[in-house]
């Protein structure tokens, strides 16, 4: 189609001015930076994609070099052929680490293509629904009162559920979930726990059984993702739903292998590290065929949130949108990031593609690393 040829690719590593945080109580405080990819079509339509940096010591700008390697593959190609381009890029991926830059390129092509056509991505994917309930995804804390305070704030803002990133001390965590359940016994607020792959098997069984009968929907990432046999045994030993972290074991082969072993009750992955929107649609179809939900990992800055949100809305299979809490630090660089409505749900930003309006002047000024295929 005229005007849909990719003519420019840019990448940025940005460190937003935000406090350091932790998402496992035993970890040091870290600054959450973002990697951004900006793709321009011949008609001026632009697509954006993003993912996190800063996690476990990763430096902002770590994907800038990968973007420079990918640019010769994409520039000059037609975004209408994004599925083929993504599959080609994924096939060329060397298998060392996650296919993050390929995922971002796929998302940016979908965004640019939607803007080129004047259609939101979620409608291009099927238009299953217009909004989805959101849960507040908290930081990790060292006091039970801090967890209670976060849950109270989230409930007051209208969230329907809260996911706690756990302290990681099994005794503390057991006391915390019991205290939270008692404190909110009269409410309809739901909870989840995320252990960031930090538990041993026996500890995970103990916590999973303690959560049985409490208002908790799932236990996420108790064990290392790669230990599928342990996950399968854990899934048989507890009644609560079990999810992987979704950060390292990705791809249809891996997801199929885990489901075949009965490792999880729900699938989990992020559009920004699983192969993009193209791959996410495939995992949604796989999960639907197996009769399990997919809880997409929408934690991140505005572009990552938006990409996952559009998949959740375009096709069936997800039950919740994961919203970083508090969200302000993760809204950096986007003028209209996804936001909670009065009914505790999230809708996409209005407009074609992903609908995000990025403050590119600010991003250009703040970037600590950058790449531009235009030189």
Architecture in CATH of 123-346: Alpha-Beta Barrel (3.20)
The full set of domain ranges for the chain reads 6-118+360-372, 123-346
Rounded distance, CA 218 to CA 323, Å? 16
Instruction: Name the stretches of the chain with pLDDT < 50.
Output: none
Q: Are residues 252 and 228 in contact, defined by beta-carbon separation less than 8 angstroms? A: no
Please confirm whether the linkage preceding 230 is cis (ω < 30° from 0): no
User: What region, left, alpha or beta, does residue 150 occupy, with left being phi > 0 and alpha being psi -120 to 50 degrees?
Assistant: alpha
Q: Write out pLDDT tens, residues 3-39.
A: 999 999 999 999 988 888 999 998 999 888 999 999 9
Residue 364, Cβ neighbours under 10 Å: how many? 14
Q: Are residues 249 and 222 in contact, defined by beta-carbon separation less than 8 angstroms? A: no
Rounded distance, CA 105 to CA 218, Å? 32
E strands in the chain? 6-14, 33-41, 46-53, 132-137, 161-165, 190-194, 216-220, 241-243, 321-324, 345-346, 367-372
Residue 341, Cβ neighbours under 10 Å: how many? 11
Query: Cα–chain-centroid distance for residue 7?
Result: 28
Q: What is the CATH number of domain 6-118+360-372?
A: 3.30.390.10
Question: What pLDDT does residue 55 have?
Answer: 65
Q: Write out pLDDT tens, residues 132-190.
A: 999 999 999 999 999 999 999 999 999 999 999 999 999 999 999 999 999 999 999 99
Rounded distance, CA 250 to CA 248, Å? 6
Backbone φ, ψ for residue 51 (5° rounding): -150, 170
By residue count, the chain amounts to 375
Q: Are residues 230 and 223 in contact, defined by beta-carbon separation less than 8 angstroms? A: yes
């Amino acid at each position: 189609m005229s005007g849909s040829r990719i003519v420019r690719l840019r990448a940025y590593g940005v460190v937003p001015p935000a406090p350091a945080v932790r998402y496992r109580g035993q970890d040091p405080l870290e600054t959450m930076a973002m990697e951004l990819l900006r793709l321009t079509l011949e008609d001026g339509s632009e697509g954006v994609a993003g993912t996190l940096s800063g996690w476990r010591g990763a430096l902002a700008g770590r994907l800038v070099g990968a973007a420079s390697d990918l640019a010769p593959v994409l520039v000059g190609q037609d975004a209408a052929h994004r599925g083929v381009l993504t599959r080609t890029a994924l096939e060329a991926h060397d298998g060392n680490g996650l296919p993050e830059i390929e995922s971002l390129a796929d998302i940016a092509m979908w965004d640019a293509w939607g803007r080129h056509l004047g259609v939101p991505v979620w409608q291009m994917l099927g238009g299953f629904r217009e909004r989805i309930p959101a849960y507040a995804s908290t930081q990790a804390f060292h006091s039970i009162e801090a967890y209670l305070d976060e849950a109270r704030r989230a409930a007051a803002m209208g969230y329907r559920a809260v996911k706690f990133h756990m302290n990681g001390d099994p005794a503390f965590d057991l006391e915390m979930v019991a205290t939270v359940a008692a404190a909110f016994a009269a409410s309809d607020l739901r909870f989840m726990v995320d252990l960031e792959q930090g538990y041993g098997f026996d500890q995970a069984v103990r916590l999973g059984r303690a959560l049985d009968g409490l208002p908790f929907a799932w236990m996420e990432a108790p064990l290392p993702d790669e230990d599928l046999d342990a996950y399968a045994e854990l899934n048989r030993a507890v009644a609560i739903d079990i999810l992987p972290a979704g950060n390292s074991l990705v791809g249809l082969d891996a997801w199929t292998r885990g489901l075949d072993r009965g490792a999880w009750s729900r699938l989990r992955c992020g559009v920004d590290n699983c192969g993009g929107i193209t791959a996410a649609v495939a995992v949604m179809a796989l999960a639907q065929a197996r009769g399990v939900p997919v809880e997409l990992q929408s934690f991140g800055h505005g572009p990552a949130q938006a990409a996952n949100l559009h998949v959740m809305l375009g096709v069936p299979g997800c039950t919740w949108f994961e919203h970083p809490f508090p969200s302000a630090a993760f809204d950096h660089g986007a003028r209209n990031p996804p936001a909670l409505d009065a009914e505790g749900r999230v809708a996409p930003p209005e407009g074609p593609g992903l609908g995000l309006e990025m403050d590119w002047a600010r991003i250009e000024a703040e970037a600590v690393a950058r790449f531009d295929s235009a030189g």
